[in-house]
Structure 1
Amino acid sequence: MPADLAVIGLGHLGLPLAQAATAAGVDTIGYDTDPRPVAELAAGRPPVDGSLTASEIRRMLSGGFRPTTNPTELGRVRTAVICAPTPLAADRTPDLSAVTGAARALAARLRPNTTVLLESPVHPGTTEDVLRPLLEEGSGLTAGRDFHLAYSPGRLDPGNRAHGIAHTPRVIGGLTPACTESAAAFYGRLTDKVVRARGTREAETVKVLETNFRHVNIALVNEMAVLCHELGVDLWDVIRCAETKPFGFQAFRPGPGVGGHGVPVDTIGPHRPLRLVELAGQVNERMPQYVIQRCATLLNEHGKSARGARVLLLGVTYKPDLADQEGSPAAEIGRRLMDLGAVVSYHDPYVAHWRVRDLPVPRADSLYEAAAAADLTVLLQHHRTYDLQGLAVKAQLLLDTRGVTPAGAAHRL
């Protein structure tokens, strides 16, 4: 059955796009090579990262959304959007294997006049230098003449209901002006505003800049957290005051590490490295170890050793009120505590089972009882279900890495 749209890759980028398209009345199929998420979605079950609920999946299915592992479906669409994952490889460059696999599957079935879009985070030049040749060689068609090709950086903020796809401006850069306009016509059905970049490379670099902006500013405030603790200054009060400035400042807050799907890009192919981004990455990667130092110091100040100490970790996801654990610093913090000989347990309302070093970590059934029994409770993620005032009363010793507990109720990062 023909469809208007094929979303290739049903992960954190593709599935919300498919949801938005279906809600906008776009006849949509979702293609993935992994049969497990496809089968789960077809059965109406939500993804494990909790990005969509079961009711939202059911609404998608009732709206005509069809998840599939059949690549022949890709030859029956007017628009195809590649949302394949691009995790960092060992050399800290994006692993494009999923993107190239998607391109080959699509190329074998690509029809004239199709619009092909890439949303995956990639290095500048990938759309033109990697994706284009694969599509042209596999199809015998020419990009910009026989089919449209463009790049649009994914800008989704998981769990943010105020800034979903419809209310987040969409940047588009096409191989040709006609490619840009074709992409704009598609995205214009889903979002309030379309921003045209000069070309694919400019659009790809938008993603690099936006991701690195986040990591550099988080690194700055993480360094400020360490400095302020040494000086005896309340950083959280500093941030509260600083963010009243109506220009030239944007508030970022420290934490135990940086998680999420957007990874910093400090090396762009053979070009010069981005030294500031490289340094920011080093700063952020040190934060889990800094949390461990604070834990050991607090225990020691209260006459306890880390060895044998009962430590309760609260919130092991990378973002509040979501089940997604991508890049969460909780796993490294758990490993390092275990290396010190601590007895680690956890609580997270969104994570029923958690493993560190492939070993199950005991999950606390009763939050307050577990906090009262633990020698140290560490708040790693602030889920809204946590009663911070009550937690501060019950916990023997509480380290708040998010700065969200009432002033004086806990030790803050």
Structure 2
Amino acid sequence: MSQVNDLLRNIEDRSFTVGVIGLGYVGLPLLWTFHQAGLPVIGYDIDIKKIDDLKNGIPYIKHLGTEMMEALANSDKADATIDFSRLGEADAILLCVPTPLDHHREPDMSYVEQTTETVSQYLRKGQLVILESTTWPGTTEELMIPILEKNSGLKAGTDFYVAYSPEREDPGNPNFNTAKIPKVVGGHGDEALKLATAMYDTAIVQTVPVSDCKTAEAVKLTENIFRSVNIALVNELKVVYEAMDIDVHEVLDAADTKPFGFMKFTPGPGLGGHCIPIDPFYLTWKAREFERHTRFIELAGEVNTNMPTYVVDRTMHALNTHKKAMNGSKVLVIGLAYKPDVDDMRESPTFKIFDLLKAKGAEIAYYDPFIPKIWETREHAEYTGMKTVGWNKETVSGFDAVLISTNHSTIDYAELAEWSECIIDTRNAMGGVDAKHDNHIFKS
């Protein structure tokens, strides 16, 4: 108990060093949040460019801006390294690594396993290890702890402490940054929970302790399954109401005036981001172990996965209305990011739309003011190096159709209405444009 008390005192007096592994959309804001709270921080990543940018104050995630990066670069309480032998310098080690699906739509835990193996090589007594990556219930205690104990010779709950606290990032949201979003925390034992809660309490507006790690893991999945199911519902309504010549957006706006019993979700061209398209399948996979079937969740996934196909079919219909075939047509897709006003293209449905358009013979290009060039991704290597087109009348009017996949607020949609004679709008971005253009705007 004296070890725990010493650590709690270190947290209280801000001499407790927080290490973050993975300096992406989750890890970097988390590093900054603890730094702002006055704790020493060390960032770890295998990407030397991220480390160099961080040390030099160069922003590599646009919506986080230069002020944060410059402050971290110039601080004597912040450091970043690719040298994982320095993990022993951290009192807490937070894992913010990818948890994608493999080609069989099953959890790919290789990043968590490999990172845990690395941590176990340098694990010392008194350290707190926390997983923040979204995963199936049981990962922390069934997968991570055995690796940490076997390789280090130390005992969880006695020599070191383990907890799970799911990330709740919403990139680009001006109202909620990491510090303002309550943090769910589950510990492997009471002492781990006490330490993790005390650490997050220094930097986060509210901590929400739960009974154990697997409960905290289930909380994260539940949040994203809720969104996936409700997005699937409005996506299905969009398809049905379109057939009835009813504007689904007008319906949803009107329904949203009800002050109780309704929560508005917005349809789109499919799901994107690292959470909602992936997380429901983690529970589906784990449920099989208990001989349970998640039919409702899987149906929602099927609806959302099919939306890019519906969008491309609508694009073909729009071209046909203008007496043009899809084969040989030039199609400009607006928005590569999975959501507005960020440069995050993880799991973006635009990539699937690219694939489907190309398969039907269309020539494709994209415009995205936040992503001037497509960097290398795990699943879409064929588009690496592709660059955004310019935003001007000559360029845009040269396309047979323009498909709005992401509704960035910086785009002038009135200009688009003037420049293009065939617009397929998947986000209701053209909703505020003068009605005189309605004859060449197709909602999908």
TM-score (norm 2): 0.88
- Name which of structure 1's ranges 93-102 and 393-402 shifts more when overlaid on structure 2: 93-102
8 Å CA contact retained: 1:399, 1:411: yes
8 Å CA contact retained: 1:228, 1:235: yes
Instruction: Name the residue aligned to 1:377.
Output: 402
Give 1:317 deviation, angstroms: 1.0
- Name which of structure 1's ranges 402-411 and 329-338 shifts more when overlaid on structure 2: 402-411
Instruction: Name the residue aligned to 2:422.
Output: 397
Give 1:366 deviation, angstroms: 2.9
8 Å CA contact retained: 1:344, 1:361: no
Tell me the distance in 1 between the aligned counterparts of 2:343 and 2:387: 17
Instruction: Name the residue aligned to 1:285.
Output: 305
Listed one character per residue, the Cα deviations across residues 131-174 of structure 1 (whole Å, up to 9, x for unaligned) are 11111122222111222211001101111121111111100011
1:275 equivalent in alignment to 2:287: no
8 Å CA contact retained: 1:50, 1:324: no
Listed one character per residue, the Cα deviations across residues 70-117 of structure 1 (whole Å, up to 9, x for unaligned) are 122111221111111111123323222111222122222222222111
Give 1:247 deviation, angstroms: 1.9
Instruction: Name the residue aligned to 1:411.
Output: 442
8 Å CA contact retained: 2:157, 2:189: yes
Give 1:361 deviation, angstroms: 4.7
Tell me the distance in 2 between the aligned counterparts of 1:358 and 1:66: 35
Instruction: Quickly say closer, same or farther: Cα 1:46–1:149, change in 2 above 3 A.
Output: same
1:56 equivalent in alignment to 2:68: yes
Listed one character per residue, the Cα deviations across residues 360-392 of structure 1 (whole Å, up to 9, x for unaligned) are 656321343333222211111111111122222
8 Å CA contact retained: 2:404, 2:425: yes
Tell me the SS of whatever aligns to 1:267. helix
8 Å CA contact retained: 2:57, 2:71: no
Give 1:276 deviation, angstroms: 1.1
Tell me the distance in 1 between the aligned counterparts of 2:136 and 2:430: 40
Instruction: Quickly say closer, same or farther: Cα 1:145–1:109, change in 2 above 3 A.
Output: same
Tell me the distance in 2 between the aligned counterparts of 1:35 and 1:291: 39
Instruction: Name the residue aligned to 1:91.
Output: 104
1:350 equivalent in alignment to 2:370: yes
Tell me the SS of whatever aligns to 1:399. strand
Runs of at least 4 residues off by over 6 Å: none
8 Å CA contact retained: 2:107, 2:285: no
Tell me the distance in 2 between the aligned counterparts of 1:261 and 1:55: 26
Tell me the distance in 2 between the aligned counterparts of 1:379 and 1:10: 31
Tell me the distance in 2 between the aligned counterparts of 1:66 and 1:149: 23
8 Å CA contact retained: 2:371, 2:388: no
Instruction: Name the residue aligned to 1:310.
Output: 330
Amino acid at match of 2:67: S
Tell me the SS of whatever aligns to 2:333. strand
Identity score, percent: 37
TM-score (norm 1): 0.95
8 Å CA contact retained: 1:335, 1:357: no
Instruction: Name the residue aligned to 2:232.
Output: 219
Instruction: Name the residue aligned to 1:386.
Output: 411
Q: How is 1:13-412 mapped onto 2 (pairs within 5 angstroms)?
A: 13-47=26-60, 49-63=61-75, 64-262=77-275, 263=278, 264-265=280-281, 266-268=284-286, 270-271=289-290, 272-354=292-374, 358-359=382-383, 361=386, 363-406=388-431, 408=435, 409=438, 410-412=441-443
Aligned-pair RMSD on alpha carbons?
1.8
Instruction: Quickly say closer, same or farther: Cα 1:174–1:362, change in 2 above 3 A.
Output: closer
Which ranges of structure 1 fall in alignment gaps of 5 or more residues?
A: none
Tell me the distance in 1 between the aligned counterparts of 2:235 and 2:406: 16
Tell me the SS of whatever aligns to 1:365. coil
How many residue pairs were aligned? Answer: 411
User: Which structure shows the bigger proportion of residues in helix conformation?
Assistant: 2
Amino acid at match of 2:69: I
Tell me the distance in 2 between the aligned counterparts of 1:91 and 1:306: 31
Tell me the distance in 1 between the aligned counterparts of 2:171 and 2:55: 22
Tell me the SS of whatever aligns to 1:53. helix
Amino acid at match of 1:411: F
Tell me the SS of whatever aligns to 1:149. strand
Instruction: Quickly say closer, same or farther: Cα 1:367–1:254, change in 2 above 3 A.
Output: farther
Tell me the distance in 2 between the aligned counterparts of 1:351 and 1:396: 25
Tell me the distance in 2 between the aligned counterparts of 1:35 and 1:362: 24
Tell me the SS of whatever aligns to 2:289. coil
Amino acid at match of 1:366: W
